[in-house]
């Protein structure tokens, strides 16, 4: 069972990495938005493999909507949404690659050199997990959960306030 899980993790992980790489390597903006969607859905599938059913389904549903919205915004704001002009859309590419590789090397060393302790073979059943997560949300982490809700409200107000056109304290009607 564990071997099957490792194989599934590797295969789905490679899919996630491949699509994550395609995001920055394609000229078409719609393609890059949907590559990110595929990458995020693969991450959600990895949650499912790791038996976090609630989080996996939540991830797939959230990313499905978020990336579709992102694709629309991409087409609105890109100079060249179809990628036909073959514009170069990168800057400081070499330093970015160096930073990413150095970061990857350091965290690889940390991953491989740390003794992570014993792997626990059995996870709680999905029903048990949902029950316990609900208890956690309503008891110990209630303040955190409420702050998350409040920050969503704040971000909604902030996003609207940023995006609206306001002249002399009056919202422009058009």
Partner 1 sequence: MVLTVALIIGTILFGIGLYGALSQTNLVMIMMGVELMLGASMLNLVAFWRYLHPEVYSIQMFVLVVMTVMALEAAVGFAIGTQRFRSKGSVESEEAADLKG
CB of 140 to partner 1, least distance (A): 7
Distance CA 167, CA 174 (A): 13
Burial of 84 (0-12, 13-18, 19+ CB in 10 A): exposed
Contact between 133 and partner 1 (CB under 8 A)? yes
What residues numbered 12-41 form the site for partner 1, per CB under 8 A? Answer: 13-14, 16-17, 20-21, 23-24, 29, 32-33, 36, 39-40
171 touches partner 1 by CB under 8 A = no
Of the candidate residues 77, 168, 170, 174, the single one contacting partner 1 (CB under 8 A): 77
Nearest-angstrom CA–CA distance, 125 and 134 = 14
Per CB under 8 A, 103 contacts partner 1: yes
Written as six digits, the tokens of 105 are 């090397």
Among the listed residues 54, 41, 51, 47, the one whose alpha carbon sits nearest the alpha carbon of residue 1: 51
Nearer to partner 1, 95 or 169 (CB): 95
């Amino acid at each position: 069972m564990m071997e099957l899980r490792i194989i599934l993790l590797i295969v789905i992980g490679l899919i996630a990495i491949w699509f994550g790489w395609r995001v920055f390597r394609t000229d078409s903006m719609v393609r890059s938005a949907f590559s990110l969607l595929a990458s995020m859905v693969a991450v959600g599938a990895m949650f499912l493999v790791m038996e976090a059913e609630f989080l996996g389904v939540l991830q797939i549903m959230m990313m499905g909507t978020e990336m579709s919205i992102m694709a629309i915004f991409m087409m609105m704001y890109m100079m060249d949404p179809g990628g036909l002009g073959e514009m170069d859309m990168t800057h400081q590419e070499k330093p970015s690659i160096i930073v990413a590789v150095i970061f990857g090397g350091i965290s690889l060393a940390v991953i491989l050199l740390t003794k992570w302790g014993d792997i626990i073979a059995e996870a709680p059943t999905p029903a048990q997990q949902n029950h316990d997560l609900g208890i956690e949300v309503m008891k110990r982490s209630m303040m955190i959960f409420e702050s998350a809700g409040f920050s969503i409200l704040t971000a909604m107000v902030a996003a609207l306030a940023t995006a609206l056109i306001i002249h002399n304290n009056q919202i422009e009607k058009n």
